[in-house]
Structure 1
Amino acid sequence: MSHTNEDLLRAPTYEVGPYHPFYVTMRDGTRLMTHVWLPDGDGPWPTILMRTPYVDSGEVYDPGFVIFARYGYAVILQECRGRGQSEGVWEPFVNERSDGLDTLDWLIQQPWQDGNIGLYGGSYLSFSQWMLADGLPPQVKTLYLSAMGTDQYRFAYMNGMFKPDIYTAWAVTNSDVDWGDRDVTGIALDAYRFSPPMEMDQSLLGRKVPWYRDFISSSGSGAALWNEGLWALLKSMPAKVNVPVCMVAGWFDIALETMFASFGELKPEIRAKSRLIVGPWVHSFVTYGDLDYPGGTTDGTNGGTKVVLAWFDANLKGQPHAPEKLGTVETYVIGDNEWRTWEQWPPASESLTFYLNENFSLGMRPSDQPVSYSYTYDPKNPVTTAGGGTILSVYGDSPYLPKAASVKQPEPNDRPDVLSFQSELLTRDMLIAGQIKVGLHVSSTAEDTAFTVKISEVFANGETFNIADGITSLAYRNGASSPQSYEPGRIESIRMELWPITWQLRSGSRLRLDVSSSNFPAYHVHPNVAGNWAEQAEVKRANQTLYGGGGCVSLVEIPLSTVVTT
C-alpha cells in the first residue's frame, strides 16, 4: 500500500529520471512487463521492487510508489504473469514464487542497482513477496509488507466459517470477466448468496475456478490444502526470513490476525530488528466506520510514505533508525486516540471476567442458579454484518454491502435471533490489550450450526460501537482441525478467541455481548446441515439455546494491560 503526503516528507533530492520498460524472461520463456524508474543522475542506486496483478486499467504510473525515485531509489514495478502487458496465463497465487525469484535473478545483474534491494507491497503484493522469503539473494536487505500474513487458512476462515467478502468477492473481481457497466459489488453479493456455493463460479463466472473451489472445500485447518504445497510453504516463511521486516496492519483489516501471528513467528534475532505497526485502518489503509481516530491517518508518523522511506533509508542506505522502535509492536489505542509501543506482544495483562447471568446481564460473578436463553436461527434470514474486520469489498457507503470497521450498533436484542447482554457501568477507564476470549455453553437442534459473538462498548450516551467479534461452527469448535460430530440437543462448551485489539474502555460505559448464529456477509451463512457447507443446497431452521449460571458458566474474558507503555 502506498500513500502520498509530501508535506510530511523531507525535501526530495532528485528528479525522476529515465523510465525503462523491460520484458523480463522467466524460466519457462514467459516475459513479464517490468517498469523501471531511476533517479535523475548517476547510479547505481538502492532499489525497491514491487510486483502487482492490479493493472487491468493499463495505468501503472503510481505516484505514491514512483516518488521513491525522488529520494535516490531505483523503483521497479512488475506486472504479474497474465496481467496487464505481461505474457502468460493469470492463475492467482501459483506462479508468484518462481516468477519472483526469476525476477530477483534478473535484477541483481542490472548495472543500475547497487546491491541493496528492498521488497515492498501490500495485500496480494505482500503475498508475492512473502513467497520469496526463504530464497532471497544476499542483495535483498529488507522487506516492507502490509495487509497480508502467512496463514492462509486463518485468512480465509475462522473456526470452519468462510469469509465470502474476502475471497468470494476476490474471485469475482479477479476472474477476467468483463462486467461492463454493472456494479461488481452487487454481483459479488449475488455470489455470496448463490446456492449451492460450489456452483457459483460456473453459473456466474461462466467457468470453474479451481483455486476457489479448493478453498471452499477445505473448511478445517487440518485439510490437506493448507498443510501441503504452496500454502504450507507460505505458512513456514516467517521462521525462514533472515532480513528485517517492517509489517503494517490495520485493526479493521482482513489480515490483522494473520499478521500478528506472522510477526510472532519471526526468529527472535530477526524480530529484534523488525517492526509491527497497527493503526485504525481498513484494508485500503484509511480510517473508516463511525468513530473518529485523531492522529490515526497513515500520513502521520505511523504509516504511509514517511515510514516506508525511513525504513528503506535505514536498511538500504545505512541511515540511522530509531532503535527504540525495533523489535516492538506499535499500536493505535482506540478510545485513547494515542499510539503506544509494546516491547512484547501480547503484553502482560490481567483478565477481567464477566458472566452471562439472568435478565440479559453480564455480571462480575456467575449466578448460582442456571439460566438459559433460546432463539430460532433461520439461514434464509441471516443477521447482517455491522462493522468488523472481515469486510473487504467496500469501504464507502453501498446499496449492497455493510460498512467495515467500528460502526454504530443496532439496539440490543433488535432481532429475535440476537441475544444482547450488558454489564453494569464501568467505574474506571480500562485498557484492553490483547485478545478477548468468549466461552459459551450452547445446544442446538441441528447436527451442525454456527454461533457468533460480538463485544461492544456502550457509551454513556447509549451509542454502541463494536470492538471485536468471532464465530465458530460446531463442527470446528474449540479450534478443531477436522470436523467434530455433534448430537442435537447436547450441551457443548465452545470457546472463541477474538482478534487482537488495543481499546480504551471509558468509565461510565457498559460492555455488551451479542450472541447469534449468523454474521453475513462477513462469514458464510451456515445451512444447519452437517457436511461441507459449500455443497449444501438445502437449509434448515435450528433452535439454539445459550446457558449460563449453575454448572454451565458462560463468560467473557477481557485482557487488561498491566504494562506501563510509551
Structure 2
Amino acid sequence: MNEPGEINVSGFMVEMRDGVRLKTHVWLPRGEGPWSVVFLRNPYVDGGEIHDPDLMKLVHNGYAVVCQECRGRGASEGEWEPFVNERSDGLDTLNWILGQPWQDGNIGLYGGSYLSFNQWVLADELPPEVKTLYISVLGTDQNGFIYMNGMFRHDIYTNWATSNAGVDWGGRDPAEVAAEAYRYRPQVEMDEKLLGKRLDWYRDFLANPGSGDPLWQEGLWEELHSIPSKVNVPVCMAAGWFDIALDAMFRSFAQLRPEIRERSRLVVGPWVHSLIPYGDLAFPNGEVEGPNGGTRAVLEWFDYTLKGKPYPDKLGVVHAYTIGSGQWTTWSEWPPRHETVSCFLNAEGGLDPTREKREWSISFPYDPADPVETAGGSGLLSVYGDSPYLPKAASVLQPEPGYRADVVTFLSEPLARNLSIAGRISVVLFVSSTAEDTAFTVKISEVHPSGEAYNIADGITSLAYRNGSSTAIAYEPGKIERIDIELWPIAWRLGSGSRIRLDVSSSNFPAYHVHPNLAGNWAEQGEIRTAVQTLYWGDRYEASVELPVVAKASNLVDS
C-alpha cells in the first residue's frame, strides 16, 4: 500500500430528481486525476464528519471515494423511509458522478449490509461505467431473510426497527428496548404503542410471512429477488458462516448467470455480520484481514476490476473456511459433490446409521410464555455491543442435555474418524401437536470428547408453512405430519471421537418469534395457548438427520 498522504475532501448537496438534496462526501487522492471511483451510500450516519480508516486506505491507494448519506439520514434532506428511495437516489447520484471531471469512467459499488442493499437495488440498471459490485453480508431474497418457514426473525428486524426508528431512549440500553419489543402482543401494534410511531414497512413484513404473499410477488421485493440473474458485471461477495444473510447470499450467488459467476467470487469466513470471528470457538487462520477478507481483499478486487491489474486468486469459486479444520478451501462449485449420510433417530435418544424397526414417540410441553432462549446461531444481528439483553451469536457452548423438559435431545455414538460436511444439513421429523398451528425447532451440534457441545446449524418451521410451503396450509390437531427442515449452508469438520447432537423443541427466542399456538397471522395474536408436542420415529417414521459428507474432492480447486 502507498503511504498515507494529503487528500482533498469536499462535501456536496446533490439534488435528486424530486428536488431533495443529499449530503455527499468526496475524497480525492492527492495529485492529478482522473481516478477510478468507489461509491457507497450509507444510512448509518449522524451528519458530522466521516472518519473511516478503510475508506481512507482506498483513497491513499489511488481511488476517489464518494460516500453519500441516505435520504433523511445525517445531513441529507427528505424523510427516511427504509428501502423506498434507494434505487432512484442511487441512480441519480451515479449520473452526478459521471458528470464530474475527477472520475475516469471506472466505478465500483461498495459497502456491506444495508449498503449492499443499496448496490443490489441498482444492479440491473447500471451505467456502463460501473464495472463491479463488492457485496458484503446481504442477499436479495428478502422474505427468506426475514422468515424461515413462516417464523419471523425478531433479532434481525424487530431489533433493526427499534434501533432505526429515530426514537431517543434517554440513555436506556437499546437492546433492552428491543427485548421489550420482542415480547409485545400483538406485535403488529408494537411500533405505535412502544416506539410512538407507525412503521409501515415493518407492518408490511409482519403481514406477509409466506413467500407467496403479495408483498414478495410484486414491486420492489420481487424485482430485488430477480436482480442477480440480470447483473452484467463481476461481483465479489463476502459472507460469514454465522451471518444473518448467509443463506440469501448463497442463493444470490447461485442466481448469477454462468458467464458472470465465472468472473465472480464468494468468500465465506467464520464470521458474523460485522465480518469478524465471534462466539466461543477458536477459528485459527480465520482472520479477516489478508487474502480472505478485509481491506487488502477489497483493494485487490477493485485493482482488478477498475484498474485492470491481474487478480491474485481464483474466480468463479466459493472460497470457504472449514470450521474444525482451520483450513480455507476453494470449491469450483457449491454445494461440492458429497454423499448424503443419514443418522436416524433411534431407540431412546440415539442417532444411528440404521433405522429402528420399533416405533417410538415422546411428548413434551410447549408454553409460549416460557420460550427456550436462543443459544448461538447464524440468524442473529446481536453482535454489536455488550448487553445482558443480547443473545449469544455464532457457535457457543450449549446447555447440557435435559436442561429443559421442552428440549428433546438425540445423540450419536462417538465418530470413528473425522467427518467433513459441506452443504446443507437437513432434518426430517414426524410430529403432531394439540395446537391448531405451532412451531418445531432443530439444532445440530458437535459434542467434543470433553463433553462440551457447540452448535453447528439450526432451523425452525411452523406447521402452517411446513415443508417450504409459500402459503399457509391448515393443520388438524393430533395428526402426524412429516416435516423436512433444510438448514443453512455450512462447512464443518467433525472430529474423531466427537458425537453429533440433535435438539428438538418448539421455540428459539429471540432469534425467532414465539409461536402462540394459534392459527392465523402470528403478529395479530394477542393471546397464547400451551400445547403438547409429540415426536415419532422408527418403522414407518424415517426421522433422521441428513449430513452432506464430502467424500471426494473432485471439485476442489485448492486448499
TM-score tier by shorter-chain length is: over 0.9
Letter in 2 for 1:561: V
Q: Any idea what the Cα deviations from partners look like across 1:327-384, whole Å, max 9, x if unmatched?
A: 0000010000010000000110001110111210011111000000110000000000
- Which of the numbers 205, 211, 234 marks the counterpart of 2:224? 234
Q: Residues 379-398 of structure 1 correspond to what in structure 2 (within 5 A)?
A: 379-398=368-387
| Residues 16 and 69, structure 1, Cα contact 8 Å, conserved in 2 | no
What CA distance in whole angstroms lies between the structure 1 residues aligned with 2:264 and 2:54? 23
What CA distance in whole angstroms lies between the structure 1 residues aligned with 2:67 and 2:551? 45
What CA distance in whole angstroms lies between the structure 2 residues aligned with 1:372 and 1:401? 35
Partner of 1:353: 342
The structural deviation recorded for 1:534 is: 0.1
| Residues 47 and 73, structure 2, Cα contact 8 Å, conserved in 1 | no
- Which of the numbers 504, 512, 537 marks the counterpart of 2:526? 537
Distance change (3 Å), C-alpha of 1:16 and 1:165: farther
What CA distance in whole angstroms lies between the structure 1 residues aligned with 2:26 and 2:54? 15
What CA distance in whole angstroms lies between the structure 1 residues aligned with 2:356 and 2:346? 6
| Residues 253 and 266, structure 2, Cα contact 8 Å, conserved in 1 | yes
For structure 1, which segment, 384-393 or 91-100, has the greater mean C-alpha deviation from structure 2 after superposition?
Answer: 384-393
| Residues 349 and 561, structure 1, Cα contact 8 Å, conserved in 2 | yes
Letter in 2 for 1:411: E
Letter in 1 for 2:433: S
For structure 1, which segment, 100-109 or 60-69, has the greater mean C-alpha deviation from structure 2 after superposition?
Answer: 60-69
The structural deviation recorded for 1:398 is: 2.2
Letter in 1 for 2:468: G
Letter in 2 for 1:119: L
Q: Are 1:96 and 2:96 an aligned pair? A: no
Q: Are 1:245 and 2:252 an aligned pair? A: no
Partner of 2:246: 256
- Which of the numbers 217, 221, 228 marks the counterpart of 2:211? 221
Distance change (3 Å), C-alpha of 1:19 and 1:98: same
Partner of 2:483: 494
Distance change (3 Å), C-alpha of 1:527 and 1:277: same
What CA distance in whole angstroms lies between the structure 1 residues aligned with 2:242 and 2:263? 26
Q: Residues 39-50 of structure 1 correspond to what in structure 2 (within 5 A)?
A: 39-50=29-40
Q: Residues 285-324 of structure 1 correspond to what in structure 2 (within 5 A)?
A: 285-322=275-312
What CA distance in whole angstroms lies between the structure 2 residues aligned with 1:398 and 1:562? 42
The structural deviation recorded for 1:299 is: 1.2
Partner of 1:415: 404
What CA distance in whole angstroms lies between the structure 1 residues aligned with 2:60 and 2:336? 39
SS at match of 2:348: helix
The structural deviation recorded for 1:180 is: 2.3
Q: Are 1:401 and 2:379 an aligned pair? A: no
Distance change (3 Å), C-alpha of 1:563 and 1:396: farther
SS at match of 1:448: coil
| Residues 470 and 496, structure 1, Cα contact 8 Å, conserved in 2 | yes
What CA distance in whole angstroms lies between the structure 1 residues aligned with 2:498 and 2:39? 47
Q: Which aligned segments of 4 or more residues in structure 1 are displaced greater than 4 angstroms?
A: none
SS at match of 1:307: helix
Note the residue ranges of structure 2 that are not aligned, 5 or more in a row. none
* TM-score, with structure 1 as normaliser: 0.97
| Residues 288 and 395, structure 1, Cα contact 8 Å, conserved in 2 | no
| Residues 47 and 75, structure 2, Cα contact 8 Å, conserved in 1 | no
* TM-score, with structure 2 as normaliser: 0.98
Q: Any idea what the Cα deviations from partners look like across 1:477-521, whole Å, max 9, x if unmatched?
A: 000000000000000000010000000001100000000000000
| Residues 273 and 383, structure 2, Cα contact 8 Å, conserved in 1 | no
The structural deviation recorded for 1:395 is: 4.4
Q: Any idea what the Cα deviations from partners look like across 1:134-180, whole Å, max 9, x if unmatched?
A: 11000000010101000000100000000010000111000011122
The structural deviation recorded for 1:57 is: 6.5
Q: Are 1:546 and 2:530 an aligned pair? A: no
How many residues are treated as equivalent by the alignment? 555
| Residues 185 and 394, structure 1, Cα contact 8 Å, conserved in 2 | no
Q: Are 1:333 and 2:318 an aligned pair? A: no
For structure 1, which segment, 430-439 or 293-302, has the greater mean C-alpha deviation from structure 2 after superposition?
Answer: 293-302
- Which of the numbers 9, 13, 31 marks the counterpart of 2:21? 31
Q: Any idea what the Cα deviations from partners look like across 1:449-502, whole Å, max 9, x if unmatched?
A: 000000000000000000000000000000000000000000000001000000
Partner of 2:452: 463
SS at match of 1:486: coil
| Residues 239 and 249, structure 2, Cα contact 8 Å, conserved in 1 | yes
Q: CA RMSD in A?
A: 1.0
Q: Residues 426-465 of structure 1 correspond to what in structure 2 (within 5 A)?
A: 426-465=415-454
Q: Are 1:178 and 2:178 an aligned pair? A: no
- Which of the numbers 108, 112, 126 marks the counterpart of 1:122? 112
Q: Report percent identity of matched pairs.
A: 62
Partner of 1:558: 547
Partner of 2:74: 84
| Residues 467 and 485, structure 2, Cα contact 8 Å, conserved in 1 | yes
Partner of 1:7: none
Partner of 1:8: none
Letter in 2 for 1:414: Y
| Residues 451 and 472, structure 1, Cα contact 8 Å, conserved in 2 | yes
Note the residue ranges of structure 1 that are not aligned, 5 or more in a row. 1-10
| Residues 14 and 39, structure 1, Cα contact 8 Å, conserved in 2 | no
Partner of 2:514: 525
| Residues 39 and 69, structure 1, Cα contact 8 Å, conserved in 2 | yes
Partner of 2:65: 75
| Residues 141 and 316, structure 1, Cα contact 8 Å, conserved in 2 | yes
Letter in 1 for 2:117: F
What CA distance in whole angstroms lies between the structure 1 residues aligned with 2:353 and 2:6? 62
